[in-house]
Amino acid sequence: MTSADSQPGPDAEGVRLQKVLANAGVASRRVAEDMIVAGRVRVNGEVVSELGSRIHPDRDLVDVDGTAVQLDQTKRYVMLNKPTGVVSTMRDEHDRPDLRRFTQEWSERLYNVGRLDADTSGLLVLTNDGDLAHVLAHPSFGVAKLYVARVDGRVTAQTIARLTKGIDLDDGPIAADRARLLDVSAESSLVELTLHSGRNRIVRRMLAATGHPVTELVRRRFGPLQLGPLPAGRARELTTVEVGALLTLARRGAERPLAGQETQ
């Protein structure tokens, strides 16, 4: 048996690894060969450094420099800046505005990863990758999310400290990973919160418990994804780098026990 044969996915029916990487948009075939020889590519968790290696893209997992690579070109990953007034479902049984209007340019049937309530705007991931959606949408996985909230009243440094120290709610204590005051006026304040919790409407409930009910709420970050300048009501496909970061996050948590779903 040759050294190539000892690598993952060795049989001739597979596809050469450098071709798979090129087809996935990681790099040109020549650069992909350099990556393989340099030991930067892993297949199913094992470093593959032999150019003769063949894999099965439909079942093998590949990463480069620790970042997952999506080999299935039928998968779509879309970022939407969901506007307020839209419910987080593809077809609402009560005929309220739903997500279908934002997915018309994609032929694939997309689904939302998690939810934002109708009064909350911001970053929502849409995909036809059911495995990824199943992992990332569940609160037990704990994807970090960053929100910016406009609240009633003047928020103080003591309130910010309370948010990170912990607040007792009806369904148990909760603490933000980070909190900071962005702006304050006589009648309202702008607060940024980062937390992993997926408990329903947790941001609104936390701030209401401090005496500062939310009047506007937007999600600016979901895991490794940043909303950036994407206008409200617009959607775009994720870049190769963004897809890799999201898949890496999902694969790391794929074996965790999952239950429930989030709504903010």
- Which positions are annotated as active-site residues? 117
Asked if 96 and 254 touch (Cβ cutoff 8 Å), the reply is no
All residues at 6 or more sequence positions from 36 whose CB lies less than 8 Å from its CB, including other chains? 17, 18, 21, 48, 49, 50, 51, 53
**Range list of β-strands (E), the chain:** 15-16, 41-43, 46-47, 54-55, 62-64, 67-69, 77-82, 111-113, 120-127, 145-152, 167-169, 172-174, 178-184, 188-195, 214-222, 225-226, 235-237
All residues at 6 or more sequence positions from 56 whose CB lies less than 8 Å from its CB, including other chains? 9, 13, 14, 15
The token pair at 240 is: 């190769």
Asked if 21 and 57 touch (Cβ cutoff 8 Å), the reply is no
